[in-house]
Structure 1
Amino acid sequence: MRLSLLLLLLLLSGPPPTPGTEDAAFPHMGESSQPPPRACPPRCSCPRADTVDCNGLDLQVFPDNITRAAQHLSLQNNQLQELPYNELSRLSSLRTLNLHNNLLSSEGLPDEAFESLTQLQHIYVAHNKLSVAPQFLPRSLRVADLAANQVTEIFPLTFGEKPALSLSSNQLSYLPPSLPPSLERLHLQNNFISKVPRGALSRQTHLRELYLQHNQLTDSGLDATTFSKLRHLEYLDLSHNQLASVPAALPRSLAVLHLGRNCIRWVEAARLRGARGLRYLLLQHNQLGATGLPPGALRPLRGLHTLHLYGNRLERVPLALPRRLRALVLPHNHVTVLGARDLAGMPGLAELNLAYNRLVSAHVHRRAFRPLRALRSLDLAGNRLTRVPSGLPGGLHTLRLQRNQLRALEPELLAGMNELRELSLAHNHLRIGDIGPGTWHELQALQVLDLSHNELSFVPPDLPEALEELHLQGNRIGHVGSEAFLSTPRLRALFLRANRLHMTSIAPEAFLGLLHLSVVDTAGNPEQVLVQLPPTAPRQPRAGGP
């Protein structure tokens, strides 16, 4: 039986190899089984047959022995000053050439070096010393990054047919002419551009993103046709220029318009009428005063989602804003009054930031916030409020009232806020006697409570059961009793830094039952405070010290 089985296996496996063919039949045996080693420049790595990586080797000379089959060559972070024509021209299969962060000058990057690179799609020459962009790059090119050079001149037809072109952080004084009509993304930020010549962007109808921030553009450097032909433009960044007004003839396709850090004093409704698809309008740090945003100026932007106006001189919330607005960001203005109807036209508002204005409690109408039923985040930090505003929406998740002049917490003003998760009351004038009984009763979802830098003499009682993070640093707390945290079994982090605690100020039983407590910060007290966490609590570093 065993003999017949052995014969069967021999028949199925075929005839035995003839002498001299053992290695061919079993390629894992013998020296001839190993493929010949690939050519790779010294100190470089070649993880694949088409990839040569010579990154960060402080090379001063272009490496030799690069395989002709290379499609991806990385020479970034070296000290190359020139590319030899004879070495580069034979690499006709290159698709990606990375020369980022070298010492290449325009003289060291001859135009003819790229003539034979007919497959090149990506070239990265950022952070070098080019003064002129290469005159002839392959038509196959799709991405060209020449950022952070010293380029002052661009030749026509330099960039092939379809690049995503970056010429940021150079020394251009004008928008280059003869840009490829198939451009989709153009980076020209951080230059000295003061003018876009008439018709310079008339053929770039595929352009989706245009970055012109940090230049020297003025109103006279743009005209009514500058952006009018860009019917696919979605993102336009003109921030950090010297514009005094919103550019004219903006395309309907525009979704994001960044005009921050200019000199805009007044927004003309007609300038925005064409950009009906706008979703994000950023006007922060301009010079918009009391009449800078007339009522209804933004009403044509029916789909506007986010409006940034911080760092201006507005005295009231602009009237007749788009009804579908979801985020209104207005900190660091001069708003002093909130009337009953000032916010009524934005029922879908989810985020409202009025921090660091000049609001006082007497000029905040008791119904000012009532229409905002969708509001989830309200920031009123850095104002002059002496009490929590009334009529706050019950659906709030975050309420920030730090750096005001609060001297009392009244339970009825926080009633119904059973979805509130984060409440900041830091840097006010609250004392334990100012917190009314039952203040925390309805805040059953509260996870983060910041009462730091007030005038509390001990831990407030009856804190919400869901609380996980409690900030009490910078108060006057001199004792923590054994029952201080009985109502907060989920507490994970407790901050008692810079109070009046001494070595024996915290009762040994204070943390019993706090099975999740992992951080207790008691640094900056008069004496070092020793904290003993419950035995079953996670063992993580805890702060303490004199």
Structure 2
Amino acid sequence: MVRESFGSDVFGDPAEFRLVGDKAPLTLAWAGERGVTQEGSCGPSHSELEEGGEHPNPRSWIGTGQKGEILGGIHPILWGTVSHWPGPPPALSRDAPPSPPLDVGPLPPKNNPGCPANCTCPSEETVECGGLDLHVFPSNISRAVQHLSLQNNQLRELPYDELAQLTSLKTLNLHNNHIISAGLPDEAFESLDSLQYIYLANNKLTVAPQILPSTVRIVDLAANLLTEVYPLTFGQKANLRSVYLHNNQLTNTGLPYDAFSGSNAVSTMILSSNQLSYLPQNLPPALVRLHLQNNRIARIPRGALSSHWKLRELYLQNNNLSNQGMDPSTFSKLKSLEYLDLSNNNLTKIPAGFPPNIMILHLGKNRIDSLPRDSLSRVRGLQYLLLQNNRLTAAGVHPDAFLKLRNLHTLHLYNNRLERVPPGLPRRVRSLMILHNQITHIGLQDFANTYLLAELNLSYNRLYSAKIHRLAFRKLRRLETLDLSGNQLTLLPTGLPPSLQVLKLHKNQINSLSPELLANLTGLKELHLAHNRLRIGSITPGTWQELQGLKLLDLSNNELSYIPPDLPESLEYLYLQHNRIAVIGAEAFHTIPDIRAIVLR
């Protein structure tokens, strides 16, 4: 057997070596204290949002980098098995404009008379001058240009005389410059009768352009310093479809009542991360997506949403909304609404008057302490209900609160004050998150009717082995993932269903394993037993014999003194770090020929 050192250029120290014998190479790694940095790919500073049929998708026309994501303390060999915190489903859309309508490949500049120095001009109609550190608007631009890109430069002003000559211009991208309002004349765009797409995000504007041509379809003024919008900036624009004003300093005073009058075709409005104190009135009636999160909204005026029957997505999270700031008719006219986010507000109860077609309802991070019988009876199409981080108790959940929710498949109740499993769980729920509560026991009937449940998370409660009924999980014949980590269990629960694929029991006080507790789990693929009190003498011979499909076994942070014998032949990942193993016998791994990685320290 040969030791092949990979050297310090892999994990910093010569901490990984490969044992090469007659069988496939086996990688042994010491789990260190290093983090893994995953760099984001280049893309726009605002994530791209595709707007169906609006324009073709470009090749990264806005090229600013995104922040990397650091996963601290996770060794690369363990990265793929990190458990994710249960989160909400992805939003239907994001706070971002679509990219400009340009598909320009890495073509060399053409030597035509309408191409400025250092710019790329694939055709007479397209001029690409992005990222050239320009301080002055380029001259010698062809009057036939239709798509002009000047993003990622140092421009502070736009010369009216030169811009006014570009009468064929359809797309103007000035994203990520230093343009100030004083450098943008009121009449700057007045003569551009063909202009459809204007991108002025990430500049220094304090007021919006006073006049935009009636031809515009998309206007992006996000991430400026805007405090004021004029009536003719967006008003009287029959062709306008999308407006992006997020990350500014707009108040209700700076957004006049008639700001969007006559612009009845606007379908996307992004006003998030401003300083609005109430939901603006007289918004375009054709809105499909309305983003108002991260403001200071404390109330929704009566009738403010009464004409928006096309609205599908409404984002109101991270505001100051209370139940007193709305009335039962606030949402009742939104017949097309599918996605509503009211998380991180000041709600103390479920708001009344929800329309029936909502599919995703976020109510997390409020102060809701009860679910009365009829509080959710209208939203019969609900599929995701997110109530985490509230003040719910089991006594406050009416047994019929979920009775009408026959389509509900995801229910998040984590970080509440539940002392037991709430009664009347929805019959068709498939993912149930009730971790980080105060649950002390699981009774015979707690999950008797949730026969479709595939994912159940009960981690970080106050469960003891003696308080889990031996038949508590008997009806969960489709259960695939069960998380009981972070409790006070001393034994594996009995009666676990054979459908189980992932069983998480780390951070308990389990001190013994026996074959009969695992005999039924023939489909198990992952078994997590880290941070328990297991010793070699407490693992009964034959414990693993029925786990013929097990791929991952985590026994780290226990009290093992040597490698457990008779490990399943199917095993691919074995975690044994932070035990008391001092000697590895020659036959230790002979029963696991398919092993890919063993972590020992």
Shorter-chain TM-score bucket reads 0.7 to 0.9
Q: How does 1:80-91 map to 2 (within 5 A)?
A: 80-91=155-166
Q: Is the 8 A contact 2:113 2:140 kept in 1?
A: no
Aligned-partner SS, 2:513: coil
C-alpha distance 417-274 of structure 1, shift in aligned 2 (>3 A):
same
The answer for unaligned runs of 5 or more in structure 1 is 1-33, 498-546
Output one character per residue of 1:359-389: Cα deviation in whole Å (capped at 9) or x when no partner: 1001000000111001001011101100000
Q: How does 1:355-394 map to 2 (within 5 A)?
A: 355-394=459-498
Q: Is the 8 A contact 1:100 1:128 kept in 2?
A: no
The corresponding residue for 2:223 is 127
The corresponding residue for 1:45 is 120
The corresponding residue for 1:162 is 266
C-alpha distance 178-80 of structure 1, shift in aligned 2 (>3 A):
farther
The corresponding residue for 1:503 is none
Distance in 2 separating the partners of 1:89 and 1:205: 40
Distance in 1 separating the partners of 2:166 and 2:374: 55
Structure 1 residue 37: Cα displacement: 1.6
Matched, 1:403 2:491: no
- How many residues in Structure 1 have an aligned counterpart in Structure 2? 464
Using CA pairs below 8 Å that are at least 6 residues apart, which structure has the higher relative contact order? Answer: 2
Q: How does 1:199-238 map to 2 (within 5 A)?
A: 199-238=303-342
Distance in 1 separating the partners of 2:536 and 2:599: 17
Structure 1 residue 60: Cα displacement: 4.3
The corresponding residue for 1:171 is 275
The corresponding residue for 2:130 is 55
Distance in 1 separating the partners of 2:373 and 2:392: 14
The corresponding residue for 2:200 is none
Q: Is the 8 A contact 2:243 2:266 kept in 1?
A: no
Q: Is the 8 A contact 2:567 2:591 kept in 1?
A: yes
Name the amino acid aligned to 1:227: F
Structure 1 residue 331: Cα displacement: 0.8
C-alpha distance 407-323 of structure 1, shift in aligned 2 (>3 A):
same
C-alpha distance 298-44 of structure 1, shift in aligned 2 (>3 A):
farther
Name the amino acid aligned to 1:39: G
Distance in 1 separating the partners of 2:177 and 2:395: 51
C-alpha distance 208-440 of structure 1, shift in aligned 2 (>3 A):
same
C-alpha distance 368-203 of structure 1, shift in aligned 2 (>3 A):
same
C-alpha distance 167-35 of structure 1, shift in aligned 2 (>3 A):
closer
Q: How does 1:441-460 map to 2 (within 5 A)?
A: 441-460=545-564
Distance in 2 separating the partners of 1:212 and 1:66: 44
Output one character per residue of 1:496-530: Cα deviation in whole Å (capped at 9) or x when no partner: 11xxxxxxxxxxxxxxxxxxxxxxxxxxxxxxxxx
The answer for unaligned runs of 5 or more in structure 2 is 1-108, 196-213
Q: Is the 8 A contact 2:430 2:453 kept in 1?
A: yes
Name the amino acid aligned to 1:154: L
Q: How does 1:404-483 map to 2 (within 5 A)?
A: 404-483=508-587
C-alpha distance 43-215 of structure 1, shift in aligned 2 (>3 A):
farther
C-alpha distance 458-280 of structure 1, shift in aligned 2 (>3 A):
same
Q: Is the 8 A contact 1:99 1:125 kept in 2?
A: no
Distance in 2 separating the partners of 1:146 and 1:396: 48
Query: Mean alpha-carbon deviation: is it higher for 336-345 or for 149-158?
Result: 149-158
Q: Is the 8 A contact 1:147 1:169 kept in 2?
A: yes
Structure 1 residue 290: Cα displacement: 3.3
Distance in 2 separating the partners of 1:74 and 1:142: 21
Aligned-partner SS, 1:271: coil
Q: How does 1:64-213 map to 2 (within 5 A)?
A: 64-104=139-179, 112-115=187-190, 116=193, 117=195, 118-135=214-231, 136-137=233-234, 138-152=237-251, 153-155=254-256, 156-158=258-260, 160=263, 161-213=265-317
C-alpha distance 313-79 of structure 1, shift in aligned 2 (>3 A):
farther
Distance in 2 separating the partners of 1:111 and 1:407: 76
For residue 274 of structure 1, the aligned residue among 378, 395, 410 is 378
Aligned-partner SS, 1:417: coil
The corresponding residue for 1:345 is 449
Structure 1 residue 252: Cα displacement: 1.1
The corresponding residue for 1:490 is 594
TM-score computed with the length of structure 2 as normaliser: 0.73
Query: Mean alpha-carbon deviation: is it higher for 287-296 or for 49-58?
Result: 49-58
C-alpha distance 58-441 of structure 1, shift in aligned 2 (>3 A):
same
Q: Is the 8 A contact 1:164 1:185 kept in 2?
A: yes
Structure 1 residue 114: Cα displacement: 4.4
Output one character per residue of 1:114-150: Cα deviation in whole Å (capped at 9) or x when no partner: 4433432222221111112353233322122111111
Q: Is the 8 A contact 2:438 2:461 kept in 1?
A: yes
Output one character per residue of 1:263-321: Cα deviation in whole Å (capped at 9) or x when no partner: 11112332311111010011111111232322121111110010011111111111112
The CA RMSD over aligned residues, in Å, is 2.2
Aligned-partner SS, 2:375: helix
Q: Is the 8 A contact 1:267 1:292 kept in 2?
A: yes
Q: How does 1:254-265 map to 2 (within 5 A)?
A: 254-265=358-369
Aligned-partner SS, 1:291: helix
Aligned-partner SS, 2:411: strand
Aligned-partner SS, 1:231: coil
Distance in 2 separating the partners of 1:97 and 1:266: 52
Aligned-partner SS, 2:416: coil
Q: Is the 8 A contact 1:234 1:255 kept in 2?
A: yes
Aligned-partner SS, 1:232: coil
Distance in 2 separating the partners of 1:114 and 1:104: 15
For residue 440 of structure 2, the aligned residue among 330, 336, 339 is 336
Output one character per residue of 1:464-504: Cα deviation in whole Å (capped at 9) or x when no partner: 1111111001110001111001110000011011xxxxxxx
Q: Is the 8 A contact 1:449 1:469 kept in 2?
A: yes
Output one character per residue of 1:193-221: Cα deviation in whole Å (capped at 9) or x when no partner: 11111111111111111111111111111
Query: Mean alpha-carbon deviation: is it higher for 397-406 or for 64-73?
Result: 64-73
Aligned-partner SS, 1:413: helix
Q: Is the 8 A contact 2:373 2:399 kept in 1?
A: no
Distance in 1 separating the partners of 2:484 and 2:362: 25
Report the identity percentage: 56
C-alpha distance 151-366 of structure 1, shift in aligned 2 (>3 A):
same
Q: Is the 8 A contact 1:171 1:192 kept in 2?
A: yes
Name the amino acid aligned to 1:129: L
C-alpha distance 242-388 of structure 1, shift in aligned 2 (>3 A):
same
The corresponding residue for 2:389 is 285
Name the amino acid aligned to 1:289: T
The corresponding residue for 1:510 is none
Structure 1 residue 158: Cα displacement: 3.2
Q: Is the 8 A contact 1:106 1:133 kept in 2?
A: no
Output one character per residue of 1:71-105: Cα deviation in whole Å (capped at 9) or x when no partner: 44444444444445555455455554444444455
